[in-house]
Amino acid sequence: MSGPTPAGPPAITGITIRPAGTADAGDVAEVYLASFHATYDFPLAHTDDEVRAWIAEEVAGGGTWVAVDETGTIVAMMTVKPGELDQLYVRPDRLGEGMGRRLLDVARERSPNGLTLYTFQVNARARRFYERNGFVADWFGDGSANEERQPDVRYVWRPDG
């Protein structure tokens, strides 16, 4: 006997959360690049074209989810691996609409035993977001562990708090 099919995360009006397909790679990369460039005053460690190629590989490998608005535009993206939230970016003009939270809910569903993630220490908005959503900072780095060489912080979420 099988139970009902999980409904997935509740819809935000006009927003659909779904796995990314290979055809989405270009739009996913643009969300990532727009968000990164709007958030940080330091450069990416790679060119925009290198990032686009890397994102295409990530999307093809699975684990990338997108938030799509009513016009069919990808407005947020996330890559989640077992136990790790690897990327979560929202278009700068769509911040504060709840898409990051919905993607975070999907990440928790896919890793119910807990998640870790990294963000740059200077990203106060992201840090507040993760802390509001139950993540705890458990390690602060000096930048030697990431390609941008920027101080970072690792956050951990465990379902038991």
Total number of domains in the chain:
1
Range of the domain at 139: 16-157
Domain annotation covers residue 6: no
Domain annotation covers residue 39: yes
Least confident of 4-8, 79-83, 106-110: 4-8
Domain annotation covers residue 8: no
* 71 against 10, higher pLDDT: 71
**For 26-66, how does the pLDDT look when each residue is reduced to its tens digit (9 = 90+)?**
999 999 999 999 999 988 899 999 999 999 998 888 999 99
- pLDDT above 70 coverage of the chain, percent: 91
Domain annotation covers residue 4: no
Q: What is the mean pLDDT of the chain?
A: 90
Confidence class for position 6, pLDDT limits 50, 70, 90? very low
Q: What is the mean pLDDT of residues 68-78?
A: 96
Domain annotation covers residue 1: no
Domain annotation covers residue 38: yes
SS in 3 state form for the chain? Answer: CCCCCCCCCCCECCEEEEECCHHHHHHHHHHHHHHHHHHCCCCCCCCHHHHHHHHHHHHHCCCEEEEECCCCCEEEEEEEECCEEEEEEECHHHCCCCHHHHHHHHHHHHCCCCEEEEEECCCHHHHHHHHHCCCEEEEECCCCCCCCCCCEEEEEECCCC
Record the pTM: 0.87
Domain annotation covers residue 11: no
Give pLDDT, residue 4.
Answer: 40
Confidence class for position 94, pLDDT limits 50, 70, 90? very high
CATH number reported for the structural domain that contains residue 95 in this entry? 3.40.630.30
Domain annotation covers residue 129: yes
